[in-house]
A and B are shown apart, each in its own frame.
Chain A
Amino acid sequence: MDNSYYDPKDLKKFGNITEWQPKLGEKFFDYYGEVFKEGALTAREKSLIALAVSHAVHCPYCIDAYTSDSLKKGADEEQMMEAIHVAAAIKSGAVLVHGVQMMNKADDITM
């Protein structure tokens, strides 16, 4: 074992998770593949959504994978940065909207 939790080479081994539980692993990868197919959303749009979500969930593997994939699918730098701003806006919005809860609680417990 390396003394680091993340190794870029592990991304290529993602498929190996089926080894310990083939049925669920295969179902997951089938589903995953299906999700990213061209549909009502284009494959490029899905890739940009995935890129934004990767940042929101702080997954370095996904950031690697969907940076490459977005570039491959023809997205440009501006689109990619806008996508992660969407993630950032939702994340910060989600923090701040709880400010209302804080205000309600404070109102409740003070005179």
Chain B
Amino acid sequence: MKSEVNTVNNNISSLAQAKPLASPAVQIDFLNSDDLIKFETKLESSALYPLVSSDIDIFQVNLGKMCNQVCKHCHVDAGPDRKEIMTKETMQLCLDALDSCNISTVDLTGGAPEMNPNFRWFIEELSQRGKHIIVRCNLTIILANNKYHDLPDFFAKHKVEVVSSLPHFSAKRTDSQRGKGVFEKSIEALQMLNAIGYGKADSELRLNLVYNPSGAFLPDDQKGLENEFKRRLKNNFDIDFNELFAITNLPISRFLEYLVDTEKYEDYMQELIDAYNPEAAKGVMCRNTISIGWDGFLYDCDFNQMLDLKVNTASQHIRDFNAEDLHSREIIVNQHCFGCTAGSGSSCGGTTT
């Protein structure tokens, strides 16, 4: 049954509603307040503790927490009321950092990264440097305002790989997670992207979709879901895309609030723990990613960023970026990490095994 306790206001962030779990420190305390097995203990049992990073392949920049949507499961607690966005100066520090090393993939996320006023400038600079650029686009932003309508062309010009969330091919399931009317607009945006060649088999313009469960359960087999999404989106809306990334919801931020409000937290954590897979633990994305926050601080991943768990190195800010320093660093783990190691594993690029 849908809980009546869950008084989520669909238009503003949890922070703006002064919800206790909007605080990273409260979340960490909560995640450690039970006697469930610790993530470190599980890593130890598969000889992976401490978890150590290798070469950085992905430079993931969070351009800010501002978003035109307020999805129920958002791990960023993003929304239109969030004002934290990356300045042009910090973007320049990111470019300087990239010039000092040979990381080839830059992954832009948010919030809705496109809402950052210097978003296009940043992409142009990255494009000039020949980087492989990924933009995590929520789709509805393309239709949110006239000034965004040409985003598909802009993306195509810079050969940006577009990664977009579409939790389901049913309007009901997508809207229940992402907000009323989101499905219809997402479909329209996908058709716009398809129209200029995105997601087409013979095109180099990549369009990948992100599936994440619209409830307290783990994603099923990624390939099976991809086949079904392809079939249904093609039949119903003539939409094509390249790959489907199945991503597990991590128990933090608004998804954690949902779990707590609906009294599903313990069962969900137990499900994650029971599904712990050492192979997935070996392949967690923090081992080859560095995540940069809107204010320039460095994190092992976007989830740690939201929990304010900074990297375990002397230099914790992009102004002091040093790829050598970050190599072989000990990754900061906590109970939320069970979300990355369950089943086939989960990362920003889908399963990891």
Contacts and interface: CB of A to CB of B under 8 A. Distances in A.
A67 to B, nearest CB: 11
B192 to A, nearest CB: 24
A68 B219 CA distance: 11
Interface stretch (B59-67, B137-145, B201-209, B224-232): B224-232
A34 interface: no
Contacts, number: 38
A37 B207 CA distance: 30
Contacts of B211: 74
A73 interface: yes
Nearest to A76: B170
A74 B172 contact: no
A74 B229 contact: yes
B224 A43 contact: yes
A77 B172 CA distance: 9
Contacts of A18: none
A76 B224 contact: no
A42 B224 contact: yes
| Chain A interface extent, by class | 10 to 19
Contacts of B237: none
Contacts of B215: 71
Nearest to B213: A72
A72 B221 CA distance: 9
Interface residues of B, number: 18
A81 to B, nearest CB: 12
Interface string B215-244: 101111100110111000000000000000
A44 B228 contact: yes
B173 interface: yes
Contacts of B227: 42
A38 interface: yes
Interface string B107-131: 0000000000000000000000000
A78 interface: yes
Given A72-B213, A74-B228, A43 B170 contact: no
A74 B224 contact: yes
Interface in B168-185: 168-170, 172-173
Given A44-B228, A73-B224, A78 B213 contact: no
20 contacts: A38-B224, A42-B224, A42-B227, A43-B221, A43-B224, A44-B224, A44-B228, A71-B213, A71-B215, A71-B217, A72-B217, A72-B220, A73-B220, A73-B221, A74-B211, A74-B224, A74-B228, A76-B168, A76-B173, A78-B170
Interface of A: 38, 42-44, 68, 71-74, 76-78
Given A43-B221, A77-B170, 16 more contacts: A43-B224, A44-B224, A68-B217, A71-B215, A71-B217, A72-B213, A73-B220, A73-B221, A73-B224, A73-B225, A74-B168, A74-B228, A76-B169, A76-B172, A76-B173, A78-B170
Q: Which 6 pairs across A and B sit closest by C-beta, in order of nearness?
A: A76-B170, A72-B220, A74-B228, A74-B225, A73-B220, A72-B217
